[in-house]
Amino acid sequence: MSCPEGTICAFVVTFDFDAEEVWIAEDPANASRPCVLSQGLYGARVGVPLVLEMLDSLGVRATFFVPGRVAERHSARVRQILAAGHEMGLHGHTHRSPADMGRDEEQKELRLSLRTLRHLGADPVGYRSPSWDFSPCTLDLLQGAGLLYSSNYMDDVRPYRHPGRSIVELPVHWSLDDAPHFWFDAASWDRSIATPSAVREIWQAEFEGIRSLGGVCVLTLHPQICARPGRLAMVREFLQSAVECSDVWVASAREVAEHADEVLPRNGEGGRGRGWPSRLE
Ligand SMILES: [Zn+2]
């Protein structure tokens, strides 16, 4: 997959389809609290269909990172996402952070999640940690599993290759995530929910900044958060604004990672920028 001529920035729309697993990972006792879990069930029941309709109307191919246990519980939804032509990546088997696991447990999670998604017809080549956090073993395990890319680090705005490995990184940032802006903490009530217009302003500024630098803008959304009725219109308008930019390549994470893999050096020392059509050079 090559970057279309004339484009200077890539734009990737990703969804972490967490459903109930976020709350179960926070506290296993939540597994028997249906009202708590219903916050995530909204994503599977209402959020994903609305998101698929939006993506179809915009002609955007997105990437869905799905925990294995969510794929087991909501297999019909996962098949629907795949049938719509979207990419599916790994997001743990449970939604627990790999930083809290030993190597054996982390490897088991990786294998289980791969097996579960493949069983449903997906061909995952990318990984997003449930916490945007790695253990000291994570990169080794991803490399060992033959994965193409990770989308977890915050140390650049351009794709790069992890030093000494073949894994390509598609960098993320909290500002381009819906959760930090909209997440309500029912335990503490110490957070206020942002307005859609305030979040649009933050996303637009970050996108324009990345575009001016010639990087990759990775938007991280959650169906249970972004597909609330009061927010989805803003999300649609934001995606539409990116689609209408003739110098922006809107593509799945896999497509951008495959392009980065082609153009980034393979010298064993990683690679930042060189080969990527960057204005930072
Ligand atoms: Zn998640």
Q: Which residue has the higher pLDDT, 187 or 211?
A: 211
Measured in whole angstroms, how far is the alpha carbon of residue 33 from the centre of its chain? Answer: 27
Q: What tens digit of pLDDT does each residue of 79-119 get?
A: 999 999 999 999 999 999 999 999 999 999 999 999 999 99
Say whether pLDDT at 190 is over 50: yes
* 223 alpha carbon – ligand 1 mean position (Å): 10
172 with 216: CB under 8 angstroms?
Answer: no
In a domain, 29, yes or no: yes
Predicted structure pTM score = 0.95
Q: Give me the CATH number covering residue 171.
A: 3.20.20.370
Specify which residues 87 forms β-bridges with.
63
Query: For residues 164 and 91, what is the distance between their CA atoms, to the nearest angstrom?
Result: 23
Domain that holds residue 109: 9-265
* 177 alpha carbon – ligand 1 mean position (Å): 11
In a domain, 68, yes or no: yes
* 231 alpha carbon – ligand 1 mean position (Å): 19
Query: For residues 15 and 171, what is the distance between their CA atoms, to the nearest angstrom?
Result: 15
In a domain, 202, yes or no: yes
Say whether pLDDT at 270 is over 60: no
> Using 50, 70 and 90 to split pLDDT, how confident is the model at 56?
very high
Q: What percent of the chain has pLDDT over 90?
A: 87
> Using 50, 70 and 90 to split pLDDT, how confident is the model at 150?
very high
Mean pLDDT for the chain overall: 93
> What is the number of other CB atoms lying within 10 angstroms of the CB of residue 123?
10
240: its two tokens? 């539409």
* 209 alpha carbon – ligand 1 mean position (Å): 26
In a domain, 2, yes or no: no
* 96 alpha carbon – ligand 1 mean position (Å): 9
In a domain, 157, yes or no: yes
Say whether pLDDT at 277 is over 80: no
In a domain, 272, yes or no: no
Query: For residues 278 and 281, what is the distance between their CA atoms, to the nearest angstrom?
Result: 6
168-201 exposure pattern, b = at least 16 Cβ within 10 A, e = fewer: bbbbbbeebbbbebbeeeeeeeeeeebebeebbe
* 92 alpha carbon – ligand 1 mean position (Å): 9
> Using 50, 70 and 90 to split pLDDT, how confident is the model at 7?
confident
Average pLDDT of span 223-238: 97
Check residue 179 and give its pLDDT: 96
Number of domains in the chain: 1
Token pair 């959760």: residue: 179
* 6 alpha carbon – ligand 1 mean position (Å): 34
Say whether pLDDT at 269 is over 80: no
Q: Which residue has the higher pLDDT, 264 or 125?
A: 125
Check residue 281 and give its pLDDT: 46
44 CB-near residues (< 8 Å, 6+ apart): 17, 19, 70, 73, 74, 77, 223
Query: For residues 40 and 222, what is the distance between their CA atoms, to the nearest angstrom?
Result: 10
Average pLDDT of span 257-266: 91
* 128 alpha carbon – ligand 1 mean position (Å): 8
In a domain, 271, yes or no: no
Check residue 268 and give its pLDDT: 57
In a domain, 281, yes or no: no
